[in-house]
Structure 1
Amino acid sequence: KLLPGNNIKDFLRLIRMPNLLIVALTMILMRYSVIRPLLNSLPVELKETPYLLTRMAFQLGWFDFMVLVLSTVCIAAGGYVINDYFDIRTDLINRGKVIVGNTVPRRVAMLYHNIFNFMGVAGGFYVSAKIGYFWLGALFLLVSGLLYFYSATYKRQFLIGNIIVALLTAMVPFIVVLFDAPPVYKLYSVSTISFPGVAPLFYWVGGFALFAFMTTLIREIIKDIEDYEGDITFGRKTLPVVSGIFATRITVIILSVITIFLLYSIWFRHLSDIATLAYITLFIFAPFIWVMIKVIISKTRDDLHKASRMMKVIMLAGILYSVVAGAIISSGKVL
């Protein structure tokens, strides 16, 4: 059997079910809390009904969007499976237990990986064809390949693995606008008298993608400090192994300060509302301070694990800010 009853829990751990739910939540919030309010705030005059303002609407249907979400989730699940497949030895040292090779046989894990990738790539090409840009499906093929080679090779190389994971995480919110904006542009750019463009969609979602990139990069580096023993044992060239743990701690602090600076700079230049300022300060800045202190004073793997988990909370807070952003956009105060 592929899923014996007592192994369902291990299967869900293998594919990181909570992380997959966050991927789906991110995409849904990007679409309905950010992109839809932006489209509603950009009224247009259709050539067939001049002088009558009309709100722009999604051209990718709800069902097709859910296929896009599920395809992305499948690619991510396949990535998690193959990561554990290649990490058996280091996980035994760093965590003392493994799923692949224990409750889930290696050949079954590889089968899961292939099934998830097939479903993800097939779904990606389906949605790409629906919006008239079939070639976009190659993006899913590229990402599935990157995740494989990340697990097999890149994660053992200096910073390359960290940057790849950060980029792929940033792609989760960005892929939504990548599939919603082209069909909107295709329709309204030729059917309206004065088309405002889709640049605001890319600006807003790009901001979320940048935040996802920075916070993921920071978290991956913290995890590398946490996994130092296993990585140095098997000759991995991670940042802590190459540059030392002290230098890596300083790198985490610098990247955290840069992220905080970028957040407040964007708020000051483009938003300046009290709600965003309060949200950033309470739910992002304050936890970041805790993380930086924890990273500096950490003496055990458990301390670093707590810092890594808090980074996950910060990332979730960044995603949930989309609800606040939607309210701000809908109020008409900012684009």
Structure 2
Amino acid sequence: MKLITAFFRLVRWPNLVFIVLTQMLFEYCIYKRIYTGEASQPDDTRQFIFLVIASVMIAAAGYIINDYFDLNIDQVNKPGKVVVNVIINRRWVIFWHMFLSLLGLFFSFAALPLNNYWHLVLANLASIILLWFYSTNFKKQLLIGNILISLLTAWVIMILFLSKQPLQLDHILAVKTNEVRFFRLTIVYAAFAFIISLVREVIKDMEDVEGDRRYGCRTMPIVWGINASKVYAAVWLIVLIASLLVLQFYVLPFGWWLSVLYCIVLIIAPLVWILLKLFKANSAKDFHTLSTIVKLVMMTGILSMVFFGFYL
């Protein structure tokens, strides 16, 4: 039982559940609602299930290899939570990384016919490779690792969109109302995922600065300093808050009062709180609290897709 619990900790099972939830909400509250009444292809459900499995497997493999290469750093930053070589042998960790990566690639092939979606299969393969290099190199570099993880977070949404729309700009931006609406909502949620993930990655770097510095990492707090990193995160928070406020004014004429109230109370207000607390944070505990709240806001942001199930 201890081994099973450790394995689920290793793959960050709450994050995997979040990926499944995100893709399910996007599929059923946005895509299915926009295209209600239109004939669906018989393989749509199978494709969606396989893409979700592929996303989960690739993400799990990424978390595993990250912990494998972060062993020394984690022994400094979070000694009580280390699984690799404490509960699960390093060889088994590598095995599970390879197995889950191959499983993710297999389900990518099964979901996406190569004659139409070869670029998406290659993108998932690239995700596996990039997660390896992120763990070995990129996460120790200034900004590169943060941007990469943020892009891969947005990819969880983008891959579903691109699996339903051909990679042709003239088609995506077609005059058809449904295509335009689907494209806009995809960009809204992918951009939200990217920005809030970028903020969280920088805050996590500030939390882990002690262990990162000891093992030669060149993350933003180490290279630029904590104060400059706070400014960087604050700028993105302001951009996100401003964008969300503009969106509320956009949907108000449609009478979406409940969704506006939800967004203000559970997304915008917590983001403002994070912004205010960011400059007062000094200890690893403070940054950990902020990182946790950012993750909760990411959750409430994604859950807002539920409203499109009612309003579209």
Shared topology, TM-score over 0.5?
yes
Q: How many residues align?
A: 303
- C-alpha distance in structure 2 between counterparts of 1:198 and 1:74, whole Å: 30
What does the per-residue CA deviation read over 1:19-49, in whole Å, with 9 as the maximum and x for residues that have no partner? 0000011001001001111112xxxxxxxxx
Whether 2:183 is the aligned partner of 1:202: answer: yes
Aligned pairs for 1:275-290 within 5 A: 275-290=258-273
- Residue among 6, 14, 18 paired with 1:10: 6
Instruction: Please give the alpha-carbon distance, in whole angstroms, between the structure 1 residues aligned to 2:152 and 2:117.
Output: 21
State whether structure 2 residue 279 is matched by structure 1 residue 296. yes
Which whole-Å CA distance do the structure 1 matches of 2:68 and 2:40 have between them?
40
The alpha-carbon deviation at position 115 of structure 1 amounts to 0.5
Structure 1 position 259 matched with structure 2 position 243? no
One-letter amino acid of the counterpart of residue 70, structure 1? I
> Where do residues 163-174 of structure 1 align in structure 2 (5 Å cutoff)?
163-174=147-158
Which 5+ residue runs of structure 1 have no aligned equivalent? 41-54, 330-335
1:23 is matched by which residue type in structure 2?
I
Aligned residue for 1:133, secondary structure, equals helix
Cα separation, partners in 2 of 1:252 and 1:196, compared to 1, 3 Å: closer
Given that 1:131 and 1:179 are in contact with CA atoms closer than 8 Å, whether structure 2 keeps it comes out as no
Summarize the Cα distance change of 1:271–1:117 in structure 2 as closer, same or farther, 3 Å threshold.
farther
The equivalent position to 2:33 in structure 1, one of 30, 34, 37, is: 37
Separation in 1 of the partners of 2:262 and 2:176? 33
- Confirm or deny: 8 A CA contact 2:47 2:112 kept in the other structure: no
Q: Give 1:248 deviation, angstroms.
A: 1.0
Q: Which residue of 2 aligns with 1:72?
A: 55
Report the AA paired with residue 58 of structure 1. S
Q: Answer with 1 or 2: which has the greater Rg.
A: 1
What SS class does the counterpart of residue 149 from structure 2 fall into? helix
- 2:40 is the alignment partner of 1:58: yes
Q: Does 1:21 find its partner at 2:21? A: no
Matches within 5 A, 1:102-121: 102-121=86-105
Q: Which residue of 2 aligns with 1:52?
A: none
Q: Is the CA contact (8 Å cut-off) linking 1:150 and 1:161 kept in structure 2?
A: yes
1:108-144 superposed Cα distances (whole Å, 9 cap, x missing partner): 1010000010010111011111884344211110110
Q: Supply the distance in 1 between the matched residues of 2:183 and 2:134 (Cα, whole angstroms).
A: 27
Pairs within 5 Å for 1:137-156: 137-156=121-140
Pick aligned residue for 1:239 from 220, 224, 242: 220
Q: Contact 2:61 / 2:100 at 8 angstroms: preserved in 1?
A: yes
Using the alignment, how far apart are the partners of 1:237 and 1:105 within structure 2?
29
| Equivalent position amino acid for 1:16 in 2 | R
Q: Does 1:159 align with 2:143?
A: yes
- Equivalent in the alignment of 1:48: none
Q: Which has more helix, going by share of residues?
A: 2
Q: Per-residue deviation at 1:63?
A: 2.5
The separation in 2 between residues aligned to 1:237 and 1:276, in whole angstroms, is 41
Amino acid in structure 1 at the alignment position of 2:195: M
Counterpart of 1:9, as a letter, is T
**CA shift digits 1:238-296 (9 cap, x unpaired):** 11001111111122221111100111123324554322321221001111122123322
Task: Tell me: CA distance 1:299–1:229, structure 2 relative to 1, closer, same or farther (3 Å).
Answer: same
Matches of 1:326 and 1:106 in 2, distance apart? 45
Aligned to 1:318: 301
Which consecutive residues of structure 2, in runs of 5 or more, have no partner in the other structure? none
What is the TM-score when the length of structure 2 is the normalising length?
0.92
Which stretch has the larger CA shift, 122-131 or 169-178? 122-131
> Are 2:33 and 2:308, in contact at CA under 8 Å, matched by a contact in 1?
no
Higher deviation after alignment, 310-319 or 172-181: 172-181
**Given that residues 36 and 58 in structure 1 are in contact (C-alpha distance below 8 angstroms), is that contact kept between their aligned partners in structure 2?**
no
Give a deviation string over 1:57-80, Cα, whole Å, max 9, x none.
432432331111001100000000
Aligned-pair RMSD on alpha carbons?
A: 2.0
- SS of equivalent residue, structure 2 residue 38: coil
Matched letter for residue 116 of structure 1: L
Counterparts in 2 of 1:206-221, with a 5 A limit? 206-221=187-202
Q: Secondary structure at the match of 2:79?
A: coil
**Aligned-partner Cα distance in 1 for 2:239–2:119:** 36
1:46 paired residue number: none
* Letter in structure 1 aligned against 2:54: S
Q: Which amino acid aligns with 1:172?
A: V
Residue 150 of structure 1 deviates from its aligned partner by 0.6
